[in-house]
């Protein structure tokens, strides 16, 4: 190639350059000559004809996004890359799904005491009577879901924030805003669904979303990745993507009543029992000063005191480049679920007369025996979470349902209560006060069972 090509013009010359990696574009050198880059395979990690010198491709390194954790365990991220790349946002949400939320069961008891004290008024000593509330006990128990999560999306017919600051529904003709009555009805259904322990994709009975027995969990016409792309494409300055972690499978209302009834057998003053979910939200917000200021509760409070926040709210609510929220997806973490069991796996006695479904889980749990607990999750999703390895396996875990025999996975309310009832009694009678350090393992003391506790599933 150093000489002239036969049949080519004598004025057109070619030459190789030294190894370079800028690209393969031809670049003029002097007049009408061109410089052709030469590629060294060993320099860029490509395979060569000699297998002995072949180098593997570089290892994939996941992107480590910037985020902070609030006191309640929620995550807030203002990472710029998550606001620009839908794939990075999607991967971030998947990685954060590996950290399950917790159910915090807070119990407290107080009583009122009437007291008197001597005070001086106008040079005279008088007796003043007053009342004071005394805390007898206050403690909390953290429970983590024992099973792996399943991702879900909000159905198009269900009210949700889909890019605006108001709730909308997706219909055949596009999105439209829901009315106040529809929003209140939907909020009431969401609260009832949580109290009964139903999965978040269970449809509102007043909406025509399809068969309630359907195993589908991704009900939206858009995938989580597509929603992430829509969020990143939005030019709004105060936009927000909210990813919700939901714990389901336990009848929260029934469990609260059982704990309250049990404590009432040996405590007669004012009693409070509350079950709430913590570490259950992931917020992704833009990387600008205004958005970061609103994420700081003290700066936000200062803006309210200085009467600046109302103007920010108006900008966020009505300006086309103001705010918008995407709250359309999340991960569901079951405390228990019923999976189909072939009759060939049953023992002869169980095959002949397994216990009835209603007798095992109660009438309020019948809706939860449907396919949401046996959804399209893969076999890997049926593996118990590592946090559940220390929990005892249920002895009577096979029930007969209208759809055939099913086996329970996870831990039932009654099983959990049997493990913790003696610990709860000890904390109450010994006036244990420690709300800041929730307990995660029960004490080994003898229980004193109440009638309401015996009604729990799995007791």
Instruction: Convert 397-412 to b/e letters by CB count within 10 Å (16 or more is b).
Output: bbbbbeeebbebbbbb
Task: Give the start-to-end residue ranges of the domains of the chain.
Answer: 14-53, 68-104+141-335, 337-410
Decide the pairing of beta strands 34-38 and 14-19.
Answer: parallel
Task: Strands of 252-346 (E only): list them.
Answer: 270-278, 281-284, 323-334, 336-340
Give which of 194, 291, 299 is closest to 249, Cα–Cα.
194
- For tokens 């009122």, what's the residue? 112
Contact between 157 and 230 (Cβ < 8 Å):
no
* φ, ψ (nearest 5 deg) of residue 361: -120, -10
- Other CB atoms within 10 Å distance of the CB of residue 176: 10
Give me the tens of pLDDT residue by residue for the chain, a chain 459 residues long. 444 444 444 433 333 334 444 444 444 444 444 443 444 434 433 344 444 444 555 555 667 889 999 988 999 999 999 999 999 999 999 999 999 999 999 999 999 988 888 888 888 888 888 899 999 999 999 999 999 999 999 999 899 999 999 999 988 778 889 889 989 999 999 999 999 999 999 888 776 554 444 457 888 889 999 999 999 999 999 999 999 999 999 999 999 999 999 999 999 999 999 999 999 999 999 999 999 999 999 999 999 999 999 999 999 999 999 999 999 999 999 999 888 876 666 555 444 444 444 444 444 344 343 333 333 333 333 333 434 333 444 445 777 777 778 888 899 999 999 999 899 999 999 999 986 789 988 876 555 566 666 667 766
What is the rounded (10 degree) CA torsion for 373, 375, 380, 385?
-30
Could you give the CA distance from residue 87 to residue 75 in angstroms, rounded to a whole number?
19
Cα distances (Å, whole numbers) of residue 52 to 19, 43, 56, 72, 133:
22, 15, 11, 55, 80
């Amino acid at each position: 190639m150093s000489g002239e090509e036969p049949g080519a013009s004598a004025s057109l010359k070619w030459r190789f350059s030294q190894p370079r990696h800028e690209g393969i574009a031809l670049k003029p050198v002097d007049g009408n000559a061109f410089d052709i880059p030469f590629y060294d395979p060993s320099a860029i990690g490509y395979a060569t004809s000699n297998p002995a010198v072949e180098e593997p491709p570089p290892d994939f390194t996941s992107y480590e996004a910037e985020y902070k954790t609030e006191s309640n365990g929620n995550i807030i991220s203002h990472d710029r890359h998550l606001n620009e790349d839908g794939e990075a946002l999607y991967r971030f949400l998947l990685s954060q799904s590996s950290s399950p939320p917790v159910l915090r069961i807070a119990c407290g008891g107080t009583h009122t005491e009437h007291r008197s004290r001597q005070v001086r008024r106008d040079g005279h000593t008088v007796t003043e009577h007053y009342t004071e509330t005394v805390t007898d006990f206050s403690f909390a128990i953290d429970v983590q879901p024992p099973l792996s999560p399943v991702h879900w999306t909000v159905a198009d017919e269900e009210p949700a924030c889909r890019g605006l600051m108001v709730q909308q529904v997706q219909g055949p003709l596009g999105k439209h805003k829901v009315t106040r009555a529809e929003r209140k009805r939907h909020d009431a259904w969401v609260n009832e669904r949580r109290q009964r322990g139903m999965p978040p994709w269970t449809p509102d009975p007043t909406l025509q979303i399809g068969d309630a027995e359907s195993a589908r969990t991704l009900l939206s016409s858009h995938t989580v990745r597509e929603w992430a792309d829509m969020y990143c494409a939005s030019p709004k300055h105060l936009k927000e993507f909210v990813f919700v972690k939901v714990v389901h499978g336990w009848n929260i209302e029934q469990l609260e009543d059982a704990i309250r009834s049990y404590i009432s057998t040996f405590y007669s003053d004012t009693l409070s029992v509350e079950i709430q979910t913590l570490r259950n939200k992931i917020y992704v917000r833009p990387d600008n000063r205004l958005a970061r200021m609103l994420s700081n509760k003290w700066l936000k409070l200062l803006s309210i005191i200085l009467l600046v926040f109302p103007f920010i709210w108006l900008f966020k609510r009505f300006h086309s480049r103001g705010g918008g929220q995407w709250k359309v997806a999340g991960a569901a973490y079951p405390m228990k679920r019923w999976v189909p069991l072939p009759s060939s796996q049953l023992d002869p006695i169980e095959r002949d007369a397994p216990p009835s479904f209603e007798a095992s889980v109660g009438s309020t749990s019948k809706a939860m025996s449907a396919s949401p607990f046996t959804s399209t999750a893969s076999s890997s999703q049926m593996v118990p979470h590592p946090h559940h390895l220390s929990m005892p396996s249920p002895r009577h875990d096979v029930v007969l349902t209208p759809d055939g025999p099913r086996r329970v996975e996870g831990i039932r309310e009654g099983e959990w209560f049997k493990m913790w009832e003696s610990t709860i009694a000890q904390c109450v009678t010994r006036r244990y006060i420690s709300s800041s350090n929730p307990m995660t393992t029960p004490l080994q003391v003898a229980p004193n069972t109440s009638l309401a506790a015996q009604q729990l599933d799995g007791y």
